[in-house]
A and B are shown apart, each in its own frame.
Chain A
Amino acid sequence: MFSVFRDLIRYNIEFAIGLILVGAVVIFAVLSYFSPVDPSLIYMAMPDQPPSGQYWFGTNSRGQDLFWQLSAAFRNSLIFGITVAVLSRIISITVGLLSGYVGGWVDRVLMFINDIFVAVPIFPILVLFYFVLRNNMDSFTLALIMACFGWPFDARLIRSVALGLKHREFTRHAVFAGMSTPKILLEEHLPYVMPIVFSTFMANMLWSIGLEVTLAVLGFTNLNNPTIGTVLYWAISHSAIVVGVWWWIVIPVVLIVMTFLGLFLLAVSMNEYIDPRSRLRRMGA
């Protein structure tokens, strides 16, 4: 596993760039644990100060030090993304492996449900949840709802791998040795789908953080909880660009682009590593 990682960094420029970008953002987000100020409080500093030695990223019109504000925001958004990814991975692994291995009507029912989840647009549903729950909707509830919609794509992918594993020699051995179905799935098949799980993990984080930004920018989340999206929401509602507080918009946008590009590059390069055909292409076959 470690040598795979080393090879990827050394020979796959996309992976290396992605790792640097994501790494920088993660370090920045971790700094929030040492923050001297509570990021949810307002008017703790002089408002509208441009970036300087004292305030590295400046301050916003709400009197918050943007450096610590953004640090907390990125921490919250990353935790949010990871929560959604972990939860939806659990669903997609369970459905994918079961559907592929058990087959028959279990497969048909699960895939029918899968297709429904693919076809129902998540955005109106999320807005509806906000509409009903208003500020009772904390980020864990939101993560839970998104996880319920973030699994079907990847479940299908895992299922297709599981279908192939079902007929392999070692599966038959395990069955004849009297291994129970959950045990076969967990101990024999799970390791084979782990690469897919890792690469879709990144893609899923991209998706959920992006949706959170979208919702927050419209004002459809708990706005007192600093996240990437709510930082933007406040900047826009204070007309930051028009007033000339450009750093309130430009710095978060640069950081967002770094995060998304980094996660995307990681997902793409890992995907390429998993798919031997695209690896061959890299070799010039």
Chain B
Amino acid sequence: MTQDILTVEGLKAYYQMNYFGVSREVRAVDDITMTVRKNEIYGIAGESSSGKTSFIKVLAAAIRPPMRVVDGSVKFNFKSGPIDVTTATPQQLDAIRWRSLSYIMQGSMSTLNPVRRIGKTFEDFAKRPLAASGTPYRERVLGHLERLKLPADVLNAYPHELSGGMRQRVTIGLATVCHPEFVIADEPTTALDVVVQKEVLGLIREIQQDMGSSVVFVTHDMSVHANMTDRVGIIYAGRLVEEGPTRQMFFAPKHPYTAHLVASLPRIGDTTQRPALEGRPPSLANPPQGCRFHPRCPLAIDKCKTEVPPLIPVANDHRSACWRWQDVAPLVKPHQAHGVMA
């Protein structure tokens, strides 16, 4: 039976801004409850500034002022023992960082120290969690590089001497060399061109299966989700609006926003105009009443404007936060969707 490695309950994380005398509260993560299972890739999708980056920052225990966790818990169930990263001490966090929980940060251009050789960075990151040095350490790193199809001499290079794809593989290598149980990947392929992107995605998948670890994979690109993830969660305006197995989400979405996201994907041989979504994502400082999607929703009724829909089970392993989930029709016919799931 599958077991949960991560349990998030009622998580709220707000930004407290005070800018030239005006104080604002931005509700970047507003009441999210979800779980991630062992040995699965869980995708998180959403537009930019939907709060998905803030959410995974909390998961990665990277909360810094002005953001703070207001309510809820983020519990990991590692082999070394359970830990709630919202309440753990810095020492407890240091003990799990990289050994159990690691992170692939967005933007490989800026995540590597420009004045440090890659090999040195590997030592900084991996020596302590691996608790190895000398030949065993070297062999471990070189073996890992080989798996990533990176030449051994990247260790002597500086970040600026590598191509974008190489640099991204180096960051993936850094994040996975200690065989962590849980990896958070934030837009790891966004800045790469399509060919390199495919290669890097394959690599992440391969390494995940080798190590048997769980991955939370964040991207706004739905086609990447289709190819990579086991389950997908959709975040809109700081809330989880739908969650389910990837195939089901693409074939039978139960939230109008998901339906729209899936429909906006280009497909081979399809020349019809994509339906555009009216309006813009709401401001998190001042979100709309009721369901936050209602101003843009084609199915909105009066109830949506006043009452917040709860995230309820709508099918096997499938939850949606919509009053009219039964009326959501897939905007894509199943045979078309196959083009994406290739």
Binding site for B on A (CB under 8 A): 7, 10-11, 283-285
Shortest Cβ distance from residue B22 to the other chain A in the assembled complex, whole angstroms: 10
Q: Using CB atoms, name the residue of chain B closest to A10.
A: B21
B21 near A283: Cβ-Cβ < 8 Å: no
Which residues of chain B (1-30) have a CB below 8 Å from chain A?
Answer: 17-21
Q: Which residues of A contact B17 (CB under 8 A)?
A: 283
B65 contacts the other chain (Cβ, under 8 Å)? Answer: yes
Q: Using CB atoms, name the residue of chain A closest to B65.
A: A284
B143 contacts the other chain (Cβ, under 8 Å)? Answer: no
Q: Which residues of B contact A7 (CB under 8 A)?
A: 20
Q: How far is the CA of A285 from the CA of B66 in the complex (A)?
A: 6
Give the residue among B19, B21, B65 with the most A Cβ atoms within 10 A.
B19
Which 6 interchain pairs have the tightest Cβ spacing? A11-B20, A7-B20, A283-B19, A284-B65, A11-B21, A284-B66
Interface string of B59-70 (1 = CB under 8 A from A): 000000110000
Q: Using CB atoms, name the residue of chain A closest to B64.
A: A285
Which residues of chain B (217-272) have a CB below 8 Å from chain A?
Answer: none
Shortest Cβ distance from residue B197 to the other chain A in the assembled complex, whole angstroms: 25
Q: Which residues of A contact B19 (CB under 8 A)?
A: 283
Can you report 14 A-B residue pairs in the complex whose CB atoms are below 8 A from each other?
A7-B20, A10-B20, A10-B21, A11-B20, A11-B21, A283-B17, A283-B18, A283-B19, A283-B66, A284-B18, A284-B65, A284-B66, A285-B65, A285-B66
Q: Which residues of B contact A283 (CB under 8 A)?
A: 17-19, 66
Shortest Cβ distance from residue A6 to the other chain B in the assembled complex, whole angstroms: 10
* Beyond A11-B21, A285-B66, 11 extra complex contacts between A and B, CB < 8 Å: A7-B20, A10-B20, A10-B21, A11-B20, A283-B17, A283-B18, A283-B19, A284-B18, A284-B65, A284-B66, A285-B65
Shortest Cβ distance from residue A7 to the other chain B in the assembled complex, whole angstroms: 5
Chain B interface residue count, Cβ-Cβ cutoff 8 angstroms: 7
Which residues of chain B (298-324) have a CB below 8 Å from chain A?
Answer: none
The secondary-structure label for the interface of chain A is helix
Q: How far is the CA of A123 from the CA of B65 in the complex (A)?
A: 47
Q: Using CB atoms, name the residue of chain A closest to B19.
A: A283
Q: How far is the CA of A10 from the CA of B21 in the complex (A)?
A: 9
Shortest Cβ distance from residue A239 to the other chain B in the assembled complex, whole angstroms: 51
Q: Which residues of A contact B21 (CB under 8 A)?
A: 10-11
Shortest Cβ distance from residue A278 to the other chain B in the assembled complex, whole angstroms: 13
Shortest Cβ distance from residue A274 to the other chain B in the assembled complex, whole angstroms: 15
Shortest Cβ distance from residue B67 to the other chain A in the assembled complex, whole angstroms: 9
Q: Which residues of A contact B65 (CB under 8 A)?
A: 284-285
Which residues of chain B (34-93) have a CB below 8 Å from chain A?
Answer: 65-66
Q: Using CB atoms, name the residue of chain B closest to A7.
A: B20
Q: How far is the CA of A285 from the CA of B68 in the complex (A)?
A: 12
Shortest Cβ distance from residue B327 to the other chain A in the assembled complex, whole angstroms: 42
Q: Using CB atoms, name the residue of chain A closest to B15.
A: A285
Q: Using CB atoms, name the residue of chain A closest to B16.
A: A284
Q: How far is the CA of A284 from the CA of B21 in the complex (A)?
A: 13
Q: How far is the CA of A10 from the CA of B17 in the complex (A)?
A: 18
Q: How far is the CA of A284 from the CA of B15 in the complex (A)?
A: 11
Q: Which residues of B contact A285 (CB under 8 A)?
A: 65-66
Shortest Cβ distance from residue A188 to the other chain B in the assembled complex, whole angstroms: 28
Q: Using CB atoms, name the residue of chain B closest to A8.
A: B20
Q: How far is the CA of A11 from the CA of B18 in the complex (A)?
A: 11
Q: How far is the CA of A7 from the CA of B22 in the complex (A)?
A: 11
Q: How far is the CA of A176 from the CA of B193 in the complex (A)?
A: 30
Q: How far is the CA of A283 from the CA of B65 in the complex (A)?
A: 10
Q: Which residues of A contact B66 (CB under 8 A)?
A: 283-285
Q: Which residues of A contact B18 (CB under 8 A)?
A: 283-284
Q: Which residues of B contact A284 (CB under 8 A)?
A: 18, 65-66
Q: Which residues of B contact A10 (CB under 8 A)?
A: 20-21
Q: How far is the CA of A10 from the CA of B19 in the complex (A)?
A: 12
Q: How far is the CA of A240 from the CA of B127 in the complex (A)?
A: 68
Q: How far is the CA of A83 from the CA of B167 in the complex (A)?
A: 51
Q: Which residues of A contact B20 (CB under 8 A)?
A: 7, 10-11
Shortest Cβ distance from residue B65 to the other chain A in the assembled complex, whole angstroms: 5
Give the residue among A7, A10, A283 with the most B Cβ atoms within 10 A.
A283
Q: How far is the CA of A276 from the CA of B66 in the complex (A)?
A: 16
Q: How far is the CA of A271 from the CA of B17 in the complex (A)?
A: 22
Shortest Cβ distance from residue A279 to the other chain B in the assembled complex, whole angstroms: 8
Q: How far is the CA of A283 from the CA of B21 in the complex (A)?
A: 10
Q: How far is the CA of A285 from the CA of B24 in the complex (A)?
A: 14
Give the residue among B20, B21, B65 with the most A Cβ atoms within 10 A.
B20
Q: How far is the CA of A7 from the CA of B20 in the complex (A)?
A: 7
Shortest Cβ distance from residue B303 to the other chain A in the assembled complex, whole angstroms: 39
Shortest Cβ distance from residue A284 to the other chain B in the assembled complex, whole angstroms: 5
Q: How far is the CA of A49 from the CA of B226 in the complex (A)?
A: 90
Q: Using CB atoms, name the residue of chain B closest to A11.
A: B20
Q: How far is the CA of A284 from the CA of B65 in the complex (A)?
A: 7
Q: Using CB atoms, name the residue of chain B closest to A12.
A: B20
Shortest Cβ distance from residue B319 to the other chain A in the assembled complex, whole angstroms: 34
Q: How far is the CA of A116 from the CA of B17 in the complex (A)?
A: 46
Shortest Cβ distance from residue B23 to the other chain A in the assembled complex, whole angstroms: 10
Shortest Cβ distance from residue B17 to the other chain A in the assembled complex, whole angstroms: 6
Shortest Cβ distance from residue B32 to the other chain A in the assembled complex, whole angstroms: 23
Shortest Cβ distance from residue B178 to the other chain A in the assembled complex, whole angstroms: 30
Q: How far is the CA of A11 from the CA of B17 in the complex (A)?
A: 15
Q: How far is the CA of A6 from the CA of B17 in the complex (A)?
A: 20
Shortest Cβ distance from residue B258 to the other chain A in the assembled complex, whole angstroms: 33
Shortest Cβ distance from residue A156 to the other chain B in the assembled complex, whole angstroms: 21
Q: Using CB atoms, name the residue of chain B closest to A283.
A: B19
Shortest Cβ distance from residue A266 to the other chain B in the assembled complex, whole angstroms: 18
Q: Using CB atoms, name the residue of chain A closest to B18.
A: A283
